Chains A and B, each alone.
Chain A
């Protein structure tokens, strides 16, 4: 049990970082649809750079740059060129996926550096909880910090209110003297960098080495998690843990039910759709009206201006 929970926490960590990055981007009103591609290209880059330099940390930095660069293209083309964010994001996905396969081809099967395990002294000795939460590497601890920090940022800081404002009603934010497009650009880049870090976590941590299918479909899952999470960091993280649990469960049950082993690995995907149906149901929405204190975390509405261009008339 401890070991299972421990692997769920570990499996969810990169997904949390990617999905929270996308949450930040979308809260500001921009959709970075390129997650599937960003994740894969940054995973490949992280592995190759770390392999050359011999340091995992350098790999993370390179991956963050890749993620940020793709995000910057999306931000620039949607803010300055006013192109359709969905179209640009989709094309970049295809491009990045193929680029990762092409450039990373000769590195498949190589052994590179990886992030060392780092049990936190004393905390990891706490029975049960210590093993589940504090016997991990830095990526997992970073995911914990990201959850708390994003939540605090959105709901307890002035810039956090502003990011909600520019994603909700940019013209109103502009009328209040806020530079909407500049902020949107930088929040998109920040979100992209986080996606890059998540990509690096896969090739430098979760599994050893680079292969093409390493992050297969996880970018799409991260996008779905943002919707499942109703753009609320805590619920997004909860979704990531649920998905991680499904993944780990499917993996462990493969031995128990060998006959259904073909189906189990894809089980998380339809279950994800089911979860989305639940959070968008009228019943779930009523919960929000019944408990006003939990309104933020129970909400399922997208930022009203998501995916739209803001022009100063």
Chain B
């Protein structure tokens, strides 16, 4: 069995998303598809899974040309797709999620389906509580549920679209083990990513797509420099992390108690010096978000000290925090950061200091243009926020940070960004340290934490589990700490 993709063309208006893509993947192979954002890999995967029709070209599985008019056709042909955000139904139980859309008689025999769920999931090494609501599962567990379902429906080809976005380090390890097992069992696994290290870790072979074309195909291993060069068309130098002299303590937490939802942080003690970069590591929901929200004035501490620049801010409002020079960039760029349906210019008008009643649109547009140039945002002053790519949304948010900021709080600053954009974001952020700005950021990306932090604070179960200088530890040790284990 082999999956052959032959001469796929697909354009959207003048954009040639897929410009004649051909490659073949053999049975039992874990195949990486690399490409930066906008390279055309998502379009190709959507064609494979029946979401889009291709303009021309063919998908051939096991010698048979497939008619892929809809996802139903793809499922029938044995092609299953795992979306970046697993497509489960949040208010339904695990069991109902598993059953929904499965073929069978009209009356639903839940005990029979439960048997099937247990059979397939134990074969994959997953465990589910069938009566739990899908909404209470972590992203990683939702992925497992989706994989189980696709395997039950007889998938022969599984496509994973950026599956490690939003899952913890441990879940990533588990996911990778599952992917290897699936390939060993004779499936074709396509792993779509823009993260080099993941493809290096995992894949047997790789196809790199750039500007809608296949630019490179090889069996792994391939030196990372080659991969980077093929992905971006130019060699990309990673920026190192040079230390700046640290100032006095800017943020001070002492005996702070935070409660948010199911997260409880007891007795938090931490000092952050001016110009210091602190990385917050830990599984999702271990307390990093609560800490960031408390420091930004969105969450009031239950007890203890929270002082900024020597002033007690534990009871202060979000506005007071802004005035004190605190700026918070949440993870949900479109949900919490930007405004749907308004342009880049209007974003700058919204955040400007100018309090006059009428808007000077000419000046505003000029400012927007200069910021766009300054931060290399791909868009024009009239572009709407939701029309920008993830990387450009983040650049816009960066551009909107006021000049005089003492404390920058960031949640997953480079989530979903390609390597180049991520590096750019960090260059701009690190520049701010020279003016004495402290940065506290939460991330699930171990490399990012190690590369850019001065110190890493590891949360586990609502407590600061460990504090380490970034230069003293490696990824493996950090992974252990995040999992709540000290390396022996």
Contact = CB atoms under 8 A, between A and B. Distances in A.
A164 interface: yes
A159 B101 CA distance: 8
Contacts of B104: 158
Interface centre among A156, A175, A292, A313 (most CB of B within 10 A): A175
B91 interface: yes
Contact of A156 (B49, B51, B101, B108): B108
A187 to B, nearest CB: 15
A304 interface: yes
Interface residues of A, number: 27
A168 B91 contact: yes
A165 B100 contact: yes
Interface in A258-313: 292, 295, 299, 301, 304, 312-313
B66 to A, nearest CB: 14
Contact of A173 (B46, B81, B101, B108): B101
Nearest to B80: A175
B454 to A, nearest CB: 42
Given A177-B70, A313-B51, A160 B108 contact: yes
Contacts of B51: 175, 312-313
B371 interface: no
Contacts, number: 78
Contact of A175 (B71, B92, B102): B71
Given A158-B102, A158-B104, A162-B101, A171 B87 contact: yes
A298 to B, nearest CB: 12
B87 A169 contact: yes
B131 A292 contact: yes
A161 B95 CA distance: 11
A161 B99 CA distance: 8
Contacts of A157: 106-108
What DSSP secondary structure best describes chain A's contact surface?
A: helix
Contacts of A174: 71
A222 B464 CA distance: 54
Interface centre among A159, A164, A168, A176 (most CB of B within 10 A): A176
A178 B70 CA distance: 9
B75 A176 contact: yes
Contact of B92 (A159, A164, A292, A312): A164
A194 B244 CA distance: 72
B338 to A, nearest CB: 21
Interface in A173-201: 173-179
Nearest to A296: B91
A103 interface: no
Contacts of A169: 87-90
B89 A165 contact: yes
A304 B104 CA distance: 26
Interface of B: 46, 49, 51-52, 70-76, 81, 83, 87-92, 96, 99-102, 104-108, 131, 133
Interface of A: 156-162, 164-165, 168-169, 171-179, 292, 295, 299, 301, 304, 312-313
Given A161-B99, A161-B100, 20 more contacts: A157-B107, A158-B102, A158-B106, A158-B107, A161-B96, A161-B108, A165-B100, A169-B87, A169-B88, A169-B90, A171-B87, A175-B71, A175-B81, A176-B87, A177-B75, A177-B76, A177-B101, A179-B72, A299-B91, A304-B91
